[in-house]
A and B are shown apart, each in its own frame.
Chain A
Amino acid sequence: MVGLILEARPLPGGVLIIVRGEVDATNAHQLETYIMNNCHPGDHVLLDLGAMPFMDCAGLMVLLRLHDYTQQHGAQLHLASVQRTPMRLLELTCVHWALAIHQQVEQAIAAVAGSRDHLPSDHDGPEPDLQSGVN
């Protein structure tokens, strides 16, 4: 299994998940389980993918399920700092048209804050803190 380091930080109305390492069929389930364990229905989910140099179809299917899950609960999945090879997979499959993709994490956080004004969540927490859980 490829090494994967995951970290979750609360955001107002959502959660920021930082992904470090390559995501493929050997560890995609680990990513999905971690995300689902760290978000509530109605949370916006922001994935910082700046340290994820590779993602395969299994990882892509995790993103698609997560996209469906957040939308079903009135929220949205945001991707930030997507690296070149994972972005190429998103382009090849045309999935990039369906997802909210931001160049920088800061832009994604601002987008989540903006959508929070329109889509209030039941789980709006305090302002972001830097406490994090490391998997």
Chain B
Amino acid sequence: MSKHLLHAPIDSDLETLRARLRAVGRQAGLAARRVDDLVIAVHEAVLHVLDKGAGRGSVHAWQDHHSLTVQVIDEHGLPPEESIPEQPSWSDAHSARLWVMRQACDELNIDLRPGLTLVQLRLSLIDNHE
């Protein structure tokens, strides 16, 4: 049984979205360090939508017994060659962003569909100590 925690449109008010994500992380029971990870990772995913995607989309979050999951929906879609880099590239903002997203969460999936991209980030609620 999952519990829905957030549904927010993506717009340019990133500061408000970060505050809402912080509240979601606390509500889900994440430790402070993992709340930071959540905010860092989802912020970068949303920036990707604003920067490289359609600039339109939404953020959804829910939790079950084991995980907090956040889905960032881009109504445009990442180009097919976009993949999660194994090493950071600090000369390429988009590559660095994807790499940081991967570092900050336990699982990152990018699901490319016609006209739509789902970026799904999962943070464990089990191994969740400081």
Contact = CB atoms under 8 A, between A and B. Distances in A.
Q: How big is the A interface, by class?
A: 10 to 19
Interface stretch (A36-44, A74-82, A83-91, A112-120): A83-91
Contacts of B8: none
Contacts, number: 52
A66 interface: no
For the complex, would chain B's binding face be called helix, strand, loop or mixed by DSSP majority?
helix
A92 B51 contact: no
B44 A57 contact: yes
B20 interface: no
B14 A2 contact: yes
B47 A25 contact: yes
For the complex, would chain A's binding face be called helix, strand, loop or mixed by DSSP majority?
helix
Contacts of A54: 18, 39, 43
B37 to A, nearest CB: 7
B32 A56 contact: no
Interface residues of B, number: 22
A56 B12 CA distance: 15
Interface of B: 12, 14-15, 18, 32-33, 36-37, 39-40, 43-44, 47, 51, 88, 90, 93, 96-97, 100, 103-104
Which 4 residue pairs across A and B have the least CB separation, nearest first? A88-B36, A85-B36, A92-B103, A57-B96
19 contacts: A24-B47, A25-B47, A25-B93, A54-B18, A54-B39, A56-B47, A57-B100, A58-B93, A61-B93, A64-B90, A84-B33, A84-B36, A88-B36, A92-B37, A92-B100, A92-B103, A92-B104, A93-B88, A93-B100
